[in-house]
Amino acid sequence: MYIEQLYTSCLSEAAYYIESDGEVAIVDPLRDIEEYIAIAKKRNAVIKYIFETHFHADFVSGHIDLSKATGAPIIYGPNTKTAFPVYVATDGETFTLGNLTIKVLHTPGHTLESCCYLLKDENNKDHAIFTGDTLFVGDVGRPDLSQKGEELTTKDLAGIMYESLQQKIIPLADDIIVYPAHGAGSSCGKNLGSQTWSTIGNEKKTNYALQAQTKDEFITAVTEGLSSPPQYFPINAKINKEGYESLDNILQTALKPLTLNEVKSLANSDNIILLDTRSTTAFSEGFIPGSIFIGLDGRYAEWAGSLLPFNKTILIVAEPGKEKESIIRLTRVGFSKFAGYVEGGYQAWKNAGEQTDMIIGIEPDELAMDIPHDERLIVMDVRRETEFADGHVKNALNIPLDTLTDPASMANIEDDQNLYIHCGSGYRSVIAASLLKRQGIHNLYNVLGGWNKIKLEDRIKTEKETSVLN
């Protein structure tokens, strides 16, 4: 028996490679499938099954492309309806993988078709369970992602999840390994733990959702404090259910190098998004006017899915050699419209003498000196509401980054105000600055180091919002 967790940190997503006697099962594959095929080839094994725990909302699965490439069937749990061929398993159905057995446990709640896959070893002993978004380390999947056409409330799904956990998960032996689909940072739960695997016994001891409680108490526990899901979740769930264009076809267009004249011609179109994926420092020092920054060194795909429109065409500005990575990571969250990339990157644009823009960065000590003397100064904090509540600059304006594309969020900003933007450490604030500049707001500064450095500056008054924290 061989099990490998293939963890993608920027999405906090785990796919799994399971092998026995030359036969392989892949659980919850990502859009780009080469790694799964390469591992099987290296180990002289054949991919026999593709197991999906549910219709993922936070990424586009590689199930369709992987099935076409290997001939392996796509297996879902009960209540699954798709626009492409799949095998819909029944609750309790088993599949043979070499000397192992994989048993389907239907566990609706996160979604109606959600299921877990219980792996039995060569001696038919329960060894591990692949829980998808039903059970995480320290948490369970959010129950507020009901799909279009399902007349279920969040509380309805939470109640269904309670029954699933009570009937299918809690009775399992303590030594069974838990392999979830996500780790810390994922928006598929409220507060996932830092580890990417656990055991049933440990979760029974530490996971709030598995503690002794009534159904009503459980519903309250899992539904309170849920933030709004990212805007791309329903888009990705729909793609996973209805199908998609092959990644190879998308890359044929997306990996087209564009000359500067072609870039200038396209950049003037309202249908084009110029996306710069370099580092925060490189972007701040200079960029093509109108570019939106979302750097590869952060939670790139998630922020792209949360901020960029899916009906527009993306033109990539990347560090040379990073174009393909920039595009593939976008396709993981459902983007499929690409014009190509700037040949030679930003440096080629700059070397040609084309107009450029930049973001001015200041240290917190400069902010401390400016606050008392600038009546038009606004400190804009783009962190989440809970981060802001836990400590912020006194009188700061909180506009979370994921709301910044909503015109209403900027309604109270006046043209002659000076914006001093910050987040936790600097990544989100540069994204925010690029969005504001694209909207024509240029009297802004990025506070370097963000809140992590601001809170160390004694001359800047700070406060907390206890009403939110309580």
Domains of the chain: 2-235 (3.60.15.10), 245-351 (3.40.250.10), 361-469 (3.40.250.10)
pLDDT level of residue 146 (50, 70, 90 thresholds) = confident
pLDDT in tens, 18-37: 999 999 999 999 999 999 99
Contact indicator for 437, 287 with CB cutoff of 8 Å:
no
Question: Does residue 467 register a pLDDT over 70?
Answer: no
Q: Cα(317)–Cα(295) distance, rounded to whole angstroms?
A: 10
Question: Does residue 152 register a pLDDT over 80?
Answer: yes
Tokens in use for 68? 């076409």
Q: Cα(298)–Cα(296) distance, rounded to whole angstroms?
A: 6
Question: What pLDDT score was predicted for residue 411?
Answer: 64
Question: Does residue 470 register a pLDDT over 60?
Answer: no
pLDDT in tens, 192-208: 998 999 999 999 999 99
Q: Cα(363)–Cα(359) distance, rounded to whole angstroms?
A: 13
Q: Cα(275)–Cα(268) distance, rounded to whole angstroms?
A: 14
Q: Cα(307)–Cα(330) distance, rounded to whole angstroms?
A: 12
Question: What pLDDT score was predicted for residue 148?
Answer: 61
Question: What pLDDT score was predicted for residue 409?
Answer: 72
**Strand-pair category, 13-20 with 2-8:** antiparallel
DSSP 8-state assignment for residue 167: I
Q: What is the DSSP string of 102-145?
A: EEEEE--SSSTT-EEEEEE-TTS-EEEEEEETTB-SS-B--S--
Question: What pLDDT score was predicted for residue 465?
Answer: 83
The chain-wide mean pLDDT, for the chain, equals 94
Contact indicator for 136, 169 with CB cutoff of 8 Å:
no
Nearest residue to 172 via CA among 210, 222, 136, 220? 210
Nearby residues of 30 by Cβ (< 8 Å), 6 or more positions away? 6, 8, 11, 13, 15, 59, 61, 62, 332
Q: What is the 3-state secondary structure (H, E, C) of 39-82?
A: HHHHCCCEEEEEECCCCCCCCCECHHHHHHHHCCCEEECCCCCC
Instruction: State which amino acid sits at residue 455.
Output: K
Q: How many residues does the chain have?
A: 470
Question: What pLDDT score was predicted for residue 436?
Answer: 94
Question: What pLDDT score was predicted for residue 415?
Answer: 76
Neighbours of 127 (CB within 10 A): 19
For the chain, first and last CA: distance in Å? 48
Question: Does residue 468 register a pLDDT over 70?
Answer: no
Contact indicator for 417, 378 with CB cutoff of 8 Å:
yes
pLDDT level of residue 151 (50, 70, 90 thresholds) = confident
Q: How much of the chain, in percent, has pLDDT values that exceed 70?
A: 98
Question: What pLDDT score was predicted for residue 344?
Answer: 97
Q: Cα(157)–Cα(178) distance, rounded to whole angstroms?
A: 22
Summarize the confidence of residues 292-299 as an average pLDDT: 96
Q: Is 261 helix (H, G, I), strand (E, B) or coil?
A: helix
Tokens in use for 382? 């783009």
Instruction: State which amino acid sits at residue 206.
Output: T
Summarize the confidence of residues 405-420 as an average pLDDT: 80
Q: Cα(17)–Cα(34) distance, rounded to whole angstroms?
A: 13
Name the phi and psi angles at 443, rounded to 5.
-85, 70
Helix (H) or strand (E) holding 468: helix 466-469
Structure-model confidence comparison of residues 401 and 408, the more confident one? 401
Its pTM stands at 0.92
Question: Does residue 149 register a pLDDT over 70?
Answer: no
pLDDT in tens, 13-22: 999 999 999 9
